[in-house]
Amino acid sequence: MEEPEIIFENKDFLAVNKPSGLMVHGVRVSPARQRDAARAAEPTLVDWLRAHRPEVGGVGDDPAIRPGIVHRLDKATSGVMVIAKTQDAFAYLKSLFQDRRMQKTYLALVFGVPHKAQGTIDAPIGIRNGSLKRSVHSSKMAKPAVTDYAVVRTWPGFSLLSLHPRTGRTHQLRVHLASIGHPIVGDPLYGKKAQPAFARRLLLHAAAIAFKDAEGSSFDFEAPLPPDFTFPQD
């Protein structure tokens, strides 16, 4: 498994480039299934943090499961994550996400070409009955969700989009893009059953994140597209 790459680090936090295929953290399991869970456990970003930055171990609102983790990316999504190294930094970074003062930019390769070169998807996301999947057509536990998009480049049948989520709902970008008829290429949950041969994984990448720290200093971290983020042949 490819390891995370440190983009930046200071006494309060570090920014890492998470590879696709790496879970951010594990899940809590009952004692009765602890043995099975341990046997089937996958490597996580938290495992890497505990090995390389053990001081993060006691940071957060659930340090036993997700020490230092202020936000997360899906397992298949690559890109920038910011991780708190102190409890004060955790509280501050968490407030930035809650108050929508953390600016995030994603890149996604999607099926089709949107009619508008840029636009906004404003559609609450709920949970489908009898499923863990999310949908804009379900009112169950629905929460407001807003995503801005812009077309970066097009190919016959595909587009590269720049995405700016204003909210942070689970699977928000994947659900929103599927809802407008442009699912992300390589998405096994919300995408098309037939995927192109070049799609080796979910083609969604957290390209950049920008914010100001408690002292007012500006930070803007970027992660280049990794080699496994592939495109149609020109």
Instruction: Enumerate the active-site residues.
Output: 74
Q: How far apart are CA 50 and CA 200, in angstroms?
A: 29
Q: How far apart are CA 14 and CA 6, in angstroms?
A: 7
Q: Which of 52, 37, 184 is nearest to 109 (CA)?
A: 184
The enclosing H or E element of 65 equals: none
- Beta pairing partners, 43: none
The phi, psi pair for 56, rounded to 5°, reads -75, -15
The phi, psi pair for 117, rounded to 5°, reads -65, -25
Q: Which of 84, 18, 87, 99 is nearest to 53 (CA)?
A: 84
Position 64, amino acid: A
- Long-range pairs for 225-229 at CB < 8 Å and ≥24 separation? 225/107, 226/19, 226/20, 226/78, 228/20, 228/78, 228/200, 228/201, 229/20, 229/78, 229/107, 229/109, 229/203, 229/205
Place of tokens 């590879």: 19
